[in-house]
A = this chain, B = another copy of it.
């Protein structure tokens, strides 16, 4: 068990007046134990109690290390495992559960009155996960470093006639060769007018001179995600493309510079959106400025006009303004930033200068 992380969750629970929580989200359990188990349809849960009487429920089919640092309760497919869970839960107190707990586990607990009430307590986990500890920061740095290298490498494959799909496949090979352990998400490449949609998926479109190339890519390192977008131009660039690019770049840079502990997240969105709106492209910036990231590419917490929170040292989120012009082009520039005690650290180090690839 990662005791500091467990303590953070217990502290968050305290402010929710919760003495116990039952966690079934495998990623949340990984976060707390350091051990990844994918249970598929089987029951797998971590029970935490303020009294320290934590337990982990794991099917016998899973191999787990001896020293998980928490009492293991093992059961087989034919065991009445819910009896074991109910025995552990204090039925006189409300039970926190995570937002993704499946109905097939939750309903029987409710029917059998395993607790005095059932509360979605995911915030206790999400708020802890939003503040990365030094170990997590190091893994996130490494993932973004690999991502920088991969982006540099993939630009070598920008050739007349290459398709978006071919680039996506080539990138996966690059990630493997670099030793990344997986993808944060399926790589996104969009050429020319395909880039006018914020979420175009790679297809058989061929690259041609004058196209913009939006590359939104991310790999994982020990489970932690990177996520970066760069926009390139192939062989030639028009004045308008340059104008849009430099506008998005300015929005990206000014928002990043403002990142510091205590700064409201909505003000970051405002800075970027203000710059873009001032030049008449406000309606073309169709999404929030950024999202939190960690073990998942999109984690709890966003950087938008609707955000009510403030940046806290240890937060890692994306800064990714974009301008999308229908039937024409798109530009997005995205970095991950870590909020530090002094201000911020950018996790991506790849140049953002306007680049025309020959």
Which residues does A use to contact B, with CB under 8 Å? 40-41, 78, 97-104, 106-107, 110, 118-120, 122, 165, 169, 173, 176, 298, 306
Contacts and interface: CB of A to CB of B under 8 A. Distances in A.
A118 B298 CA distance: 31
A110 B120 CA distance: 12
Most buried by B among A78, A99, A165: A99
A99 B104 CA distance: 5
Given A169-B173, A173-B169, A176-B169, A103 B110 contact: no
Contacts of A98: 103
Given A41-B298, A110-B118, 13 more contacts: A78-B306, A97-B103, A98-B103, A99-B102, A99-B103, A100-B103, A103-B106, A103-B118, A103-B120, A104-B120, A104-B122, A106-B106, A169-B173
Contacts of A306: 78
A77 to B, nearest CB: 8
A169 to B, nearest CB: 7
Contact of A102 (B40, B78, B102, B165): B102
14 contacts: A40-B298, A78-B306, A97-B107, A99-B102, A100-B102, A100-B104, A101-B103, A103-B118, A103-B120, A104-B122, A106-B106, A107-B120, A165-B176, A169-B173
A122 B107 CA distance: 13
Most buried by B among A107, A122, A165, A306: A107
Contacts of A104: 99-100, 120, 122
Contacts of A99: 102-104
A65 B21 CA distance: 42
A40 B78 CA distance: 33
Given A169-B173, A169-B176, A107 B100 contact: no
Contacts of A176: 165, 169
A16 to B, nearest CB: 14
A287 to B, nearest CB: 10
Contacts of A110: 110, 118
A82 B18 CA distance: 25
Nearest to A300: B41
